[in-house]
Structure 1
Amino acid sequence: MARFTILPLPYALILVAAACSVLGYVPYDAAPRSTGGAGHHASARTYIVLVEPPPAHTHEDDEAAHRRWHESFLLSSGAGAGSRRRVRHSYTSVLSGFAARLTDDELAAVSRRPGFVRAFPERRVQLMTTRSPGFLGLTPDGGVWNATGYGEGTIIGFLDTGIDEKHPSFHDDGMPPPPPRWKGACQPPVRCNNKLIGAASFVGDNTTTDDVGHGTHTTGTAAGRFVEGVSAFGLGGGGGTAAGMAPGAHLAVYKVCDAQGCFESDLLAGMDAAVKDGVDVLSVSLGGISTPLDKDPIAIGAFAAVTKGVLVVCAGGNSGPLPSTLSNEAPWVLTVAAGSVDRSFRASVRLGDGEMFEGESLVQDKDFSSKVYPLYYSNGLNYCDYFDANITGMVVVCDTETPVPPMSSIEAVSNAGGAGVVFINEPDFGYTIVVEKYDNLPMSQVTAVDGTKIMGYAMKGTSTSNHTATIVFNSTVVGVKPSPIVAAFSSRGPSVASPGVLKPDIMAPGLNILAAWPSEVPVGAPQSSSFNVVSGTSMATPHITGVAALVKKVHPDWSTAAIKSAIMTTSSAVDNAGNQIMDEEHRKASFYSVGRRY
Structure 2
Amino acid sequence: MCPSPAMASFPNFLLSFLMLATLFSTPTLCYINPATAQVQQNATKTSAYRVYIVLVEPPRSVVGEDAHRRWHESFLPISSTGESTKSRLLHSYTEVFSGFAARLTKAEIETVAKKPGYVRAFLGRTLQLMTTHTPAFLGLKNGTGFWSDAGYGKGVIIGVLDTGIHATHPSFDDHGVPPPPKRWKGSCKEARCNNKLIGAKSFVGNDNSDSGDEVGHGTHTSSTAAGNFVPGASDHGLGTGTAAGIAPADHVAMYKVCNGTSCDESAMLAGLDAAIKDGVDVLSLSIGGSSVSFDQDPIAIGAFSAVSKGILVVCAAGNDGPTAGWVTNAAPWLLTVAAGSVDRSFGAEVHLGNGKSIHGEALTQKGKPSSKSYPLLFSEEHQYCEYEDYSHVTGKILICKDLMLNAQKYYIHDAIGAGAAGVVLFNDKASGYTIDLRDYNSSVVQVNAADGVVLTSYATSSKSRSVATFTYNNTLLGIRPAPIVTGFSSRGPSYVIPGVIKPDILAPGLNILAAWPPNTGSASGPFNIISGTSMATPHISGVAALIKSIHPNWSPAAIKSAILTTSDGSILDQHHGKASAYATGAGHVNPTRATDQGGARI
Write out per-residue CA displacement over residues 401-440 of structure 1, whole angstroms, 9 at most, x where no aligned residue. 337881122123213311111112122111001111112x
Number of the residue aligned with 1:498: 497
Of 582, 588, 594, the match for 2:578: 588
5 Å matches for 1:62-141?
62-75=64-77, 82-141=84-143
In structure 2, what is the Cα distance between the partners aligned to 1:417 and 1:191? 46
Number of the residue aligned with 2:305: 304
In structure 1, what is the Cα distance between the partners aligned to 2:287 and 2:261? 14
Say yes or no: does 1:545 pair with 2:541.
yes
- Secondary structure, counterpart of 2:360 in structure 1: coil
Number of the residue aligned with 1:419: 421
- Secondary structure, counterpart of 2:393 in structure 1: coil
In structure 1, what is the Cα distance between the partners aligned to 2:370 and 2:539? 36
Number of the residue aligned with 1:9: none
5 Å matches for 1:10-409?
43-55=48-60, 57-59=61-63, 62-75=64-77, 82-187=84-189, 189-204=190-205, 206-237=209-240, 240-259=241-260, 261-386=262-387, 387=389, 390-402=392-404, 406-409=408-411
Number of the residue aligned with 1:25: none
| TM-fit CA distance, 1:454 | 1.2
| TM-fit CA distance, 1:366 | 3.4
Greater mean deviation of Cα atoms: 383-392 or 508-517: 383-392
In structure 2, what is the Cα distance between the partners aligned to 1:148 and 1:268? 31
Say yes or no: does 1:518 pair with 2:517.
yes
In structure 2, what is the Cα distance between the partners aligned to 1:414 and 1:420? 7
- Cα 1:408–1:415 shift into 2, 3 Å: same
TM-score (structure 1 length as normaliser): 0.88
The one-letter code of the counterpart of 1:334 is L
| TM-fit CA distance, 1:347 | 1.0
In structure 1, what is the Cα distance between the partners aligned to 2:183 and 2:391? 69
Greater mean deviation of Cα atoms: 539-548 or 101-110: 101-110
TM-score (structure 2 length as normaliser): 0.87
Number of the residue aligned with 1:14: none
Number of the residue aligned with 1:26: none
The one-letter code of the counterpart of 1:362 is L
- Secondary structure, counterpart of 2:152 in structure 1: helix
Q: How many residues are matched?
A: 543
| TM-fit CA distance, 1:135 | 0.4
The one-letter code of the counterpart of 1:529 is G
Write out per-residue CA displacement over residues 203-254 of structure 1, whole angstroms, 9 at most, x where no aligned residue. 01511010000000000000000000011011012xx100000000001000
- Cα 1:564–1:453 shift into 2, 3 Å: same
Write out per-residue CA displacement over residues 26-69 of structure 1, whole angstroms, 9 at most, x where no aligned residue. xxxx99xxxxxxxx9960100000001111x314xx00001011
- Secondary structure, counterpart of 2:195 in structure 1: coil
In structure 1, what is the Cα distance between the partners aligned to 2:419 and 2:79? 64
In structure 2, what is the Cα distance between the partners aligned to 1:501 and 1:306? 18
Greater mean deviation of Cα atoms: 399-408 or 81-90: 399-408
Is the Cα–Cα contact under 8 Å of residues 78 and 85 in structure 2 kept in the other structure?
A: no
| TM-fit CA distance, 1:81 | 6.7
Greater mean deviation of Cα atoms: 373-382 or 287-296: 373-382
- Secondary structure, counterpart of 1:428 in structure 2: coil
| TM-fit CA distance, 1:353 | 1.4
Is the Cα–Cα contact under 8 Å of residues 390 and 418 in structure 2 kept in the other structure?
A: no
The one-letter code of the counterpart of 1:498 is I
- Cα 1:368–1:173 shift into 2, 3 Å: same
In structure 2, what is the Cα distance between the partners aligned to 1:76 and 1:203? 24
Write out per-residue CA displacement over residues 525-549 of structure 1, whole angstroms, 9 at most, x where no aligned residue. xxx2200001000000000000000
Is the Cα–Cα contact under 8 Å of residues 215 and 261 in structure 2 kept in the other structure?
A: no
In structure 2, what is the Cα distance between the partners aligned to 1:416 and 1:80? 58
| TM-fit CA distance, 1:557 | 0.7
- Which runs of 5 or more structure 2 residues have no equivalent in the other structure? 1-37, 40-44, 590-602
In structure 2, what is the Cα distance between the partners aligned to 1:197 and 1:499? 39
In structure 2, what is the Cα distance between the partners aligned to 1:319 and 1:433? 15
| TM-fit CA distance, 1:94 | 1.1
The one-letter code of the counterpart of 1:58 is V
* Root mean square deviation, CA, Å: 1.9
- Cα 1:455–1:429 shift into 2, 3 Å: same
Write out per-residue CA displacement over residues 62-96 of structure 1, whole angstroms, 9 at most, x where no aligned residue. 00001011111114888977112211000001111
In structure 2, what is the Cα distance between the partners aligned to 1:251 and 1:544? 15
Number of the residue aligned with 2:477: 478
Number of the residue aligned with 1:3: none
Is the Cα–Cα contact under 8 Å of residues 76 and 109 in structure 1 kept in the other structure?
A: no
Is the Cα–Cα contact under 8 Å of residues 384 and 408 in structure 2 kept in the other structure?
A: no
Number of the residue aligned with 1:507: 506
Greater mean deviation of Cα atoms: 100-109 or 399-408: 399-408
The one-letter code of the counterpart of 1:162 is G
Greater mean deviation of Cα atoms: 366-375 or 295-304: 366-375
Write out per-residue CA displacement over residues 275-296 of structure 1, whole angstroms, 9 at most, x where no aligned residue. 0000000000000011100000
The one-letter code of the counterpart of 1:277 is D
Is the Cα–Cα contact under 8 Å of residues 77 and 110 in structure 1 kept in the other structure?
A: no
Is the Cα–Cα contact under 8 Å of residues 369 and 473 in structure 1 kept in the other structure?
A: no
5 Å matches for 1:559-570?
559-570=555-566
Is the Cα–Cα contact under 8 Å of residues 78 and 84 in structure 2 kept in the other structure?
A: no
- Which runs of 5 or more structure 1 residues have no equivalent in the other structure? 1-29, 32-39, 574-579
Task: Give aligned-pair identity as a percent.
Answer: 56
- Secondary structure, counterpart of 2:400 in structure 1: strand
Write out per-residue CA displacement over residues 367-403 of structure 1, whole angstroms, 9 at most, x where no aligned residue. 2253322222233333221256633222221223337
In structure 2, what is the Cα distance between the partners aligned to 1:369 and 1:382? 26
- Cα 1:405–1:348 shift into 2, 3 Å: farther
Is the Cα–Cα contact under 8 Å of residues 349 and 472 in structure 2 kept in the other structure?
A: yes
Is the Cα–Cα contact under 8 Å of residues 77 and 108 in structure 2 kept in the other structure?
A: no
